[in-house]
Amino acid sequence: MNADPSPPPRVRRPLLIVVSAPSGAGKTTLCDRLLAEHPQMVYSISCTTRAPRGGEVDGRDYHFLAPAEFERRVAAGEFIEHAVVHGNQYGTLRKTVQESLCAGKDVLMDIDVQGAASIRAAAQGCEGLLKNGYVDVFIAPPSLKALRARLTARNEDAPEVIDQRVKNAVVEMARWREYQYLVINDKLDEAFIELQSLVRAEHCRTGSCAAL
Protein backbone atom coordinates (compact mmCIF):
# COMPACT_ATOMS: atom_id res chain seq x y z
CA MET A 1 0.00 0.00 0.00
CA ASN A 2 1.15 3.53 -0.76
CA ALA A 3 1.99 5.80 2.13
CA ASP A 4 -0.57 8.50 2.89
CA PRO A 5 0.47 11.47 0.68
CA SER A 6 -1.36 14.11 2.72
CA PRO A 7 0.89 16.68 4.36
CA PRO A 8 1.83 16.29 8.00
CA PRO A 9 0.48 18.81 10.50
CA ARG A 10 1.99 22.25 10.40
CA VAL A 11 4.31 23.22 13.19
CA ARG A 12 4.66 26.84 14.13
CA ARG A 13 7.96 27.99 12.71
CA PRO A 14 8.92 31.17 14.57
CA LEU A 15 9.94 33.96 12.24
CA LEU A 16 12.63 36.55 12.69
CA ILE A 17 11.16 39.44 10.73
CA VAL A 18 13.67 42.18 9.98
CA VAL A 19 12.10 45.43 8.80
CA SER A 20 14.11 48.39 7.49
CA ALA A 21 12.93 51.68 6.09
CA PRO A 22 14.10 55.25 5.87
CA SER A 23 12.89 57.39 8.75
CA GLY A 24 9.36 58.64 8.01
CA ALA A 25 8.40 55.81 5.62
CA GLY A 26 5.77 54.55 8.07
CA LYS A 27 7.63 51.61 9.62
CA THR A 28 6.51 52.31 13.20
CA THR A 29 2.89 52.74 12.10
CA LEU A 30 2.93 49.44 10.17
CA CYS A 31 4.88 47.48 12.79
CA ASP A 32 2.63 48.64 15.65
CA ARG A 33 -0.39 47.47 13.71
CA LEU A 34 1.20 44.11 12.95
CA LEU A 35 2.06 43.60 16.61
CA ALA A 36 -1.45 44.57 17.70
CA GLU A 37 -2.98 41.95 15.41
CA HIS A 38 -0.47 39.17 16.10
CA PRO A 39 -0.28 38.27 19.79
CA GLN A 40 2.35 35.59 19.03
CA MET A 41 4.73 38.28 17.81
CA VAL A 42 7.12 40.21 20.01
CA TYR A 43 9.04 43.38 19.27
CA SER A 44 12.79 43.28 19.71
CA ILE A 45 13.60 46.24 21.93
CA SER A 46 16.95 47.64 20.85
CA CYS A 47 19.58 49.39 22.93
CA THR A 48 20.65 52.87 21.91
CA THR A 49 22.86 55.70 23.10
CA ARG A 50 20.54 58.36 21.70
CA ALA A 51 18.41 60.38 24.12
CA PRO A 52 14.72 59.46 24.51
CA ARG A 53 12.26 61.57 22.49
CA GLY A 54 9.10 62.94 24.05
CA GLY A 55 6.74 60.12 24.94
CA GLU A 56 9.36 57.37 24.60
CA VAL A 57 9.65 54.99 27.54
CA ASP A 58 12.85 53.23 28.61
CA GLY A 59 12.39 49.46 28.30
CA ARG A 60 9.40 49.79 25.99
CA ASP A 61 10.67 51.77 22.99
CA TYR A 62 14.40 51.28 23.60
CA HIS A 63 16.82 50.47 26.35
CA PHE A 64 18.48 53.88 26.60
CA LEU A 65 22.14 53.40 27.59
CA ALA A 66 25.11 55.62 28.32
CA PRO A 67 27.91 55.19 25.72
CA ALA A 68 30.18 53.41 28.26
CA GLU A 69 27.47 50.87 29.11
CA PHE A 70 26.80 50.31 25.41
CA GLU A 71 30.52 49.64 24.82
CA ARG A 72 30.64 47.25 27.78
CA ARG A 73 27.82 45.24 26.22
CA VAL A 74 29.55 45.23 22.83
CA ALA A 75 32.70 43.83 24.48
CA ALA A 76 30.63 41.24 26.36
CA GLY A 77 29.15 40.00 23.05
CA GLU A 78 25.60 40.85 24.08
CA PHE A 79 24.58 42.18 20.66
CA ILE A 80 23.68 40.05 17.68
CA GLU A 81 24.39 43.19 15.62
CA HIS A 82 25.16 46.81 16.35
CA ALA A 83 25.72 49.88 14.19
CA VAL A 84 26.07 53.64 14.25
CA VAL A 85 22.96 55.28 12.78
CA HIS A 86 22.54 59.06 12.49
CA GLY A 87 25.54 59.43 14.86
CA ASN A 88 24.22 57.20 17.67
CA GLN A 89 24.88 53.57 18.59
CA TYR A 90 22.10 51.02 18.18
CA GLY A 91 22.22 47.31 18.97
CA THR A 92 19.99 44.23 19.08
CA LEU A 93 20.23 42.03 22.15
CA ARG A 94 21.11 38.45 21.26
CA LYS A 95 19.47 36.99 24.37
CA THR A 96 16.03 38.50 23.74
CA VAL A 97 15.96 37.27 20.15
CA GLN A 98 17.09 33.76 21.04
CA GLU A 99 14.72 33.39 23.98
CA SER A 100 11.70 34.58 22.00
CA LEU A 101 12.41 32.31 19.02
CA CYS A 102 12.97 29.33 21.36
CA ALA A 103 9.60 30.10 22.98
CA GLY A 104 8.02 29.81 19.50
CA LYS A 105 7.31 33.51 19.14
CA ASP A 106 7.81 35.57 15.98
CA VAL A 107 10.29 38.37 16.56
CA LEU A 108 9.80 41.68 14.78
CA MET A 109 12.87 43.84 14.47
CA ASP A 110 13.13 47.43 13.25
CA ILE A 111 16.77 47.98 12.33
CA ASP A 112 18.73 49.94 9.76
CA VAL A 113 20.23 48.62 6.52
CA GLN A 114 23.64 47.94 8.14
CA GLY A 115 22.11 45.93 10.98
CA ALA A 116 19.94 43.99 8.55
CA ALA A 117 23.02 43.09 6.48
CA SER A 118 24.77 41.77 9.63
CA ILE A 119 21.84 39.63 10.75
CA ARG A 120 21.27 38.34 7.21
CA ALA A 121 24.90 37.18 7.07
CA ALA A 122 24.65 35.63 10.55
CA ALA A 123 21.45 33.79 9.61
CA GLN A 124 22.98 32.43 6.41
CA GLY A 125 26.03 31.21 8.27
CA CYS A 126 24.25 29.24 10.97
CA GLU A 127 21.73 26.43 11.43
CA GLY A 128 18.52 26.31 13.39
CA LEU A 129 15.88 28.86 14.33
CA LEU A 130 17.74 31.93 13.10
CA LYS A 131 18.37 30.48 9.66
CA ASN A 132 14.96 28.81 9.28
CA GLY A 133 12.94 31.80 10.42
CA TYR A 134 14.83 34.66 8.84
CA VAL A 135 12.78 37.01 6.64
CA ASP A 136 13.51 40.60 5.70
CA VAL A 137 11.36 43.41 4.35
CA PHE A 138 12.20 46.86 3.07
CA ILE A 139 9.47 49.45 3.48
CA ALA A 140 9.76 52.35 1.04
CA PRO A 141 7.78 55.56 0.73
CA PRO A 142 6.17 56.18 -2.68
CA SER A 143 8.62 59.06 -3.29
CA LEU A 144 11.14 61.30 -1.54
CA LYS A 145 8.61 64.12 -1.79
CA ALA A 146 6.04 62.06 0.14
CA LEU A 147 8.71 61.11 2.68
CA ARG A 148 9.57 64.75 3.34
CA ALA A 149 5.87 65.61 3.64
CA ARG A 150 5.37 62.84 6.24
CA LEU A 151 8.39 63.89 8.27
CA THR A 152 7.15 67.47 8.22
CA ALA A 153 3.58 66.49 9.16
CA ARG A 154 4.85 64.27 12.02
CA ASN A 155 6.12 67.48 13.53
CA GLU A 156 8.85 65.82 15.63
CA ASP A 157 12.02 67.01 13.95
CA ALA A 158 13.62 70.38 13.18
CA PRO A 159 13.90 71.30 9.45
CA GLU A 160 17.66 70.56 9.37
CA VAL A 161 17.04 67.12 10.93
CA ILE A 162 14.41 66.46 8.26
CA ASP A 163 16.91 67.49 5.56
CA GLN A 164 19.44 65.04 7.01
CA ARG A 165 16.87 62.22 7.17
CA VAL A 166 15.86 62.76 3.55
CA LYS A 167 19.56 62.70 2.55
CA ASN A 168 20.05 59.46 4.48
CA ALA A 169 16.93 58.04 2.84
CA VAL A 170 18.56 58.30 -0.58
CA VAL A 171 21.45 56.12 0.62
CA GLU A 172 19.19 53.64 2.45
CA MET A 173 16.70 53.29 -0.40
CA ALA A 174 19.49 52.34 -2.80
CA ARG A 175 19.75 49.06 -0.83
CA TRP A 176 16.17 47.76 -1.19
CA ARG A 177 17.31 44.96 -3.53
CA GLU A 178 19.18 43.28 -0.66
CA TYR A 179 15.81 42.40 0.94
CA GLN A 180 13.52 39.43 0.18
CA TYR A 181 10.40 41.61 0.22
CA LEU A 182 9.56 45.18 -0.73
CA VAL A 183 6.46 46.96 0.57
CA ILE A 184 5.73 50.43 -0.80
CA ASN A 185 3.81 52.34 1.81
CA ASP A 186 1.65 54.56 -0.37
CA LYS A 187 -1.87 53.75 0.87
CA LEU A 188 -1.45 52.65 4.48
CA ASP A 189 -4.15 49.95 4.47
CA GLU A 190 -2.80 48.34 1.33
CA ALA A 191 0.75 48.39 2.64
CA PHE A 192 -0.44 46.76 5.86
CA ILE A 193 -2.22 43.98 3.95
CA GLU A 194 0.98 43.31 2.01
CA LEU A 195 3.05 43.16 5.18
CA GLN A 196 0.59 40.88 6.94
CA SER A 197 0.25 38.67 3.85
CA LEU A 198 3.94 38.05 3.57
CA VAL A 199 4.11 37.06 7.24
CA ARG A 200 1.24 34.62 6.69
CA ALA A 201 2.87 33.25 3.54
CA GLU A 202 6.10 32.64 5.45
CA HIS A 203 4.13 30.57 7.97
CA CYS A 204 2.77 28.46 5.10
CA ARG A 205 6.18 27.42 3.80
CA THR A 206 6.56 23.65 3.47
CA GLY A 207 9.42 23.92 5.92
CA SER A 208 6.72 24.61 8.51
CA CYS A 209 5.36 21.05 8.19
CA ALA A 210 6.48 18.44 10.68
CA ALA A 211 8.44 15.35 9.59
CA LEU A 212 8.94 16.26 5.93
Residue in 65, 107, 111, 199 binding ligand 5GP, rule: CB under 6 A? 111
Cα 156 to its chain centre, rounded Å, is 22
Partner interacting with residue 29 (select from ligand 5GP, ligand ADP, none; CB below 5-8 Å by kind): ligand ADP
CA–CA separation, 33 and 188 (whole Å): 11
What DSSP assignment string belongs to 119-154?
HHHHHHTS-SHHHHHEEEEEEE-S-HHHHHHHHHHH
Contact with ligand ADP (CB under 6 A) among 28, 98, 132, 196: 28
Helix axes 144-154, 159-173, angle to 10 degrees: 140
User: In angstroms, rounded to a whole number, what is the distance separating the alpha carbons of residues 159 and 127?
Assistant: 46
User: Contact between 106 and ligand 5GP (CB under 6 A)?
Assistant: no
Asked if residue 175 lies in contact with residue 113, where contact means CB atoms within 8 angstroms, the answer is yes
Q: Which stretch binds ligand 5GP (CB under 6 A): 97-105, 108-116, 120-128, 203-211?
A: 108-116
Q: Any contact of residue 73 with ligand ADP (CB under 6 A)?
A: no
Residues of this chain that bind ligand 5GP (CB under 6 A): 23, 46, 50, 81, 83, 85-86, 90-92, 110-112, 114-115
Residues of this chain that bind ligand ADP (CB under 6 A): 21, 23-29, 150, 153-154, 185, 187-188, 191
